[in-house]
């Protein structure tokens, strides 16, 4: 049975949870507000896609920009309070917020499968919140420094460097334009290290406000360097994937690969799963799988025009077709018998003609 977290850990958990959810709301709404601003600008200025910069004079676009900035800031700070196993998967809520707001603000259709996807995202996130680890194994820079020397995590870092190096220098130039998994794998595994760096920098920030000597600790500057480097690589290959492949395909695959990589890296570095019982582990994995299904439904069928009325019509048509078949079943049997008799007659005539041809020969 998992040990009961102390009150301070529970407080940090709920602070991190609130920040993560708020981050998703800000980021998801920022996409819609900036999109509405770009639509508005396209009526009187050169579009951004055509090289225009008229959006810089539009207050609505700047509103979306600041919402996105606040969202990313909240997400960064959330890593200082809550486990990465919880914070990263909750990023899927931004997709949910964007989908719902686009339906009301931009008047874009959200079909029945999209609504089911939204419901699955909410359910999966709720399950993950209930079962996710509620405290970190490392709550200060000295503790984190000890864990960074763990042979398992060093092995993981070496594995990431080897795999990403082979992908970047060999597979990406040859197969990157054809196989979506090349770019996605690179930005996902490198992204897992960027999250670990963000987590470490968040812990350093929390120690700083607690009055601990952070600026003299070399780990602080290592985390800053790693965060900038890894995010640059991650965004580079994510942009390549979005440029070459369909967004509706890239988004769910990237979410699965990136979140899985973060969960693995976090489990190795912080060993969060060691404090969880089997039920909590299965619950967390089930919640993650539910979110994945919701993201898939939201993106894979977003262009399908289907509502609840369409489902009712399909059901009604099936019932009518079945009733018509049942009503005409005697005639159907008779028609089938006649059809079979015609086939047998044609076969006999064909055999007779072949025999006559052989007799003539």
Torsion of CA 34, 36, 42, 43, to 10 degrees: -150
Nearest CA-CA partner of 14 in 137, 141, 127, 130? 130
Residue 94: its H or E element: helix 92-104
Q: How far apart are CA 196 and CA 265, in angstroms?
A: 8
Percent of the chain's residues with pLDDT above 70: 77
Lowest mean pLDDT among 176-180, 271-275, 277-281: 271-275
Listed as own residue / partner, the contacts of 73-77 with beta carbons closer than 8 Å and 24 or more positions apart are 74/19, 74/20, 74/22, 74/23, 74/26, 75/19, 75/20, 75/23, 75/27, 76/198, 76/201, 76/202, 77/19, 77/202, 77/205
Q: What is the H or E stretch that residue 175 is in?
A: helix 172-175
Mean pLDDT along residues 309-328: 64
DSSP 247-309: HHHHHHHHHHHHHHHHHHHHHHHH-GGGGS-HHHHHHHHHHHHHHHHHHHHHHHTTT----HH
- Mean pLDDT is lowest, of 42-56, 173-187, 247-261, for 42-56
Whole-number average pLDDT of the chain: 80
Average pLDDT, integer, range 234-243: 83
Nearest in space to 262 (alpha carbons), one of 198, 197, 196: 196
Q: Is residue 19 helix, strand or coil?
A: helix
Q: Is the pTM of this model over 0.75?
A: no
pLDDT in tens, 68-78: 889 888 988 88
Residue 166: pLDDT band by 50, 70, 90 thresholds? very high
In the predicted model, is pLDDT for residue 88 greater than 90?
A: no
Lowest mean pLDDT among 19-23, 36-40, 124-128, 211-215: 36-40
């Amino acid at each position: 049975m998992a040990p009961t977290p102390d009150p301070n850990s529970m407080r940090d958990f709920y602070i991190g949870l609130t920040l993560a959810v708020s981050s998703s709301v800000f980021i998801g709404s920022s996409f819609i507000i900036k999109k509405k601003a770009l639509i508005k600008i396209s009526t009187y200025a050169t579009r951004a896609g055509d090289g225009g910069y008229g959006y810089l004079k539009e207050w609505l676009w700047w509103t979306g920009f600041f919402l996105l900035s606040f969202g990313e800031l909240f997400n960064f700070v959330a890593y200082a309070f809550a486990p990465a196993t919880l914070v990263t998967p909750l990023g899927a809520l931004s997709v949910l917020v964007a989908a719902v707001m686009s339906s009301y603000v931009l008047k874009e259709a959200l079909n029945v499968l999209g609504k089911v996807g939204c419901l699955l995202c909410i359910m999966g996130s709720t399950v993950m919140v209930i079962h996710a680890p509620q405290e970190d194994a490392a709550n200060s820079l000295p503790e984190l420094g000890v864990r960074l020397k763990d042979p398992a995590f060093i092995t993981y870092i070496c594995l990431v460097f080897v795999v990403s190096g082979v992908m970047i220098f060999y597979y990406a130039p040859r197969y990157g334009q054809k196989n979506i998994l090349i770019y996605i794998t690179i930005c996902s595994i490198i992204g897992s290290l960027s999250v670990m760096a963000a987590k470490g920098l968040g812990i350093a920030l929390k120690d700083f406000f607690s009055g601990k000597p952070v600026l003299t600790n070399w780990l602080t500057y290592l985390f800053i360097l790693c965060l900038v480097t890894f995010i640059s690589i991650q965004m580079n290959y994510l942009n390549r994937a979005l440029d070459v492949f369909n967004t509706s395909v890239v988004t769910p695959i990237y979410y699965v690969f990136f979140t899985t990589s973060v969960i693995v890296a976090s489990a190795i570095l912080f060993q969060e799963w060691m404090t969880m019982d089997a039920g909590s582990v299965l619950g967390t994995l089930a919640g993650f799988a539910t979110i994945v299904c919701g993201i898939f439904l939201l993106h894979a069928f977003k262009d399908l025009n289907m509502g609840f009325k369409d489902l009712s019509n399909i059901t009604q048509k099936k019932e009518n077709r079945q009733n018509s078949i049942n009503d005409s079943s005697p005639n159907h049997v008779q028609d089938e018998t006649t059809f079979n008799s015609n086939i047998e007659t044609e076969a006999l005539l064909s055999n007779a003609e072949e025999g006559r041809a052989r007799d003539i020969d």
